Amino acid sequence: MAKATLYKHFPRKDALVLAYLDRVDQTWFGQLRAAARDAGDDPRAQLVGMFDALDSAARREGYHGCAFINTAAESTTGSDVHARTVEHKRVVRAWVTDLARRAEATDPDLLARQLTMLIDGGLAIGVLDADPAASHAAKAAAQALVDASCPR
């Protein structure tokens, strides 16, 4: 794309960053939901199954971690870009909270916060060492949290 065309579509750097985050959001959130669906119909299994998306994310060529965490670290609090990163994390946590409710977690909000922290940690460690064992460890921790939080 020529520079003039780029500036025509994205007159400000923030507009380009927001468009990029929208694309990443569609892809990453789609991968999380697909991994959960692939785990079956049981919400408990879906809460653990979504961690399979970590494995494929960290193995992707050119992977540099969570675009939302990276962007939040480099953006000004209160800016449109920072707000977009916060919104993404809020939407993901709301979706996980809904799964936790359907799994009959004793405290769905707490379980969702714990699981999304594990996801974010798994995304970060994928950059540091790209060791597939990290995503497996995150999934095992998720299973322990779900087992402790969702009595059968």
Structure confidence by residue, pLDDT tens digits, 24-49: 889 889 999 999 999 999 999 999 99
- Spatial separation of the C-alpha atoms in residues 18 and 36, rounded to whole Å: 26
User: What is the residue whose two structure tokens read 């809904």?
Assistant: 98
Can you give the pTM of this predicted structure?
A: 0.86
Mean pLDDT, range 116-139, rounded to an integer: 84
Q: What is the CA radius of gyration of the chain?
A: 17
Q: What is the predicted pLDDT for the residue at 65?
A: 74
Asked if residues 21 and 92 have their Cβ atoms less than 8 Å apart, the reply is no
Three-point CA angle 143, 121, 96, nearest 5°: 55
126 or 145, greater pLDDT = 145
**Rounded distance between C-alpha atoms, residue 12 and residue 14, angstroms:** 5
Chain mean position to CA 59: 15
User: Residue 5 pLDDT > 60, yes or no?
Assistant: no
pLDDT above 70 coverage of the chain, percent: 87
Residue 63: is it exposed, middle or buried by C-beta count within 10 angstroms (0-12/13-18/19+)?
A: middle
Give the pLDDT score at 13: 74
